[in-house]
Amino acid sequence: MIQHQTRPAATVLVVDDDSAIRDAMELLLRSLPAEIVTASDVPAALDVVRHRRVDAIVADYRMPDLSGLDFFALLRQQGSRTPFILVTGHGTIPTAVEAVRAGVAEFLEKPVDPHVMRRAVAQALERAREMPAGSGEGSPFDLGRLEAETIGRALAATGGNRTHAARLLGMHPRTLRKKLNTPKRPRGKP
């Protein structure tokens, strides 16, 4: 008789100080093949992470005492590579840049489209499944779509001016040009 080892169900941790948001997120994510666990603040979330395996985390950016980004930083300091989705109702380009540089998997603005949230969590769970036990998820600077969206927002905010967008993003204009894969324009030419 062949025995199949089945991996236990995935676990998603939702952290938000607003109970209505936590309940809505739990209801929204029930359609995924995962157990949804909630916490009202970062200390409670840290307690959950200490006592059980968590495959993906969705956390509010703004919470009392410690922010979702503070929580992310604490987890990284402890060596965790759990895919992390940061959600905020107060999204700004500097906040998005800070989150991207820190290495969050997704940075979503409230109100979040339910399909976008489910897709982001499903992708985070897939990333977690692909990670070998005890390993990291790769470089936190492998940013892909999130980085492209953040650069796009900076370009939109600066009217398409790459130099100003680079300053806003805290990078050298050549770095932004390389990321955009655009050739340098000769001086004096439009």
Please check whether residue 86 is in contact with residue 59, taking contact to mean a CB–CB distance below 8 angstroms: yes
Structural domains of the chain in order of their starting residue, each with its CATH number: 10-130 (3.40.50.2300), 144-180 (1.10.10)
* pTM assigned to the model: 0.68
pLDDT at 64: 87
pLDDT single digits (tens) 136-185 = 433 333 335 566 667 777 777 888 888 888 888 778 888 887 777 655 55
Average pLDDT over residues 114-130: 92
Of all residues in the chain, the percent with pLDDT exceeding 70 is 81
pLDDT single digits (tens) 65-78 = 889 999 999 998 88
Q: Could you give the CA distance from residue 69 to residue 102 in angstroms, rounded to a whole number?
A: 8
Judging by beta carbons within 10 Å of its beta carbon (0-12, 13-18, 19+), is residue 177 exposed, middle or buried?
middle
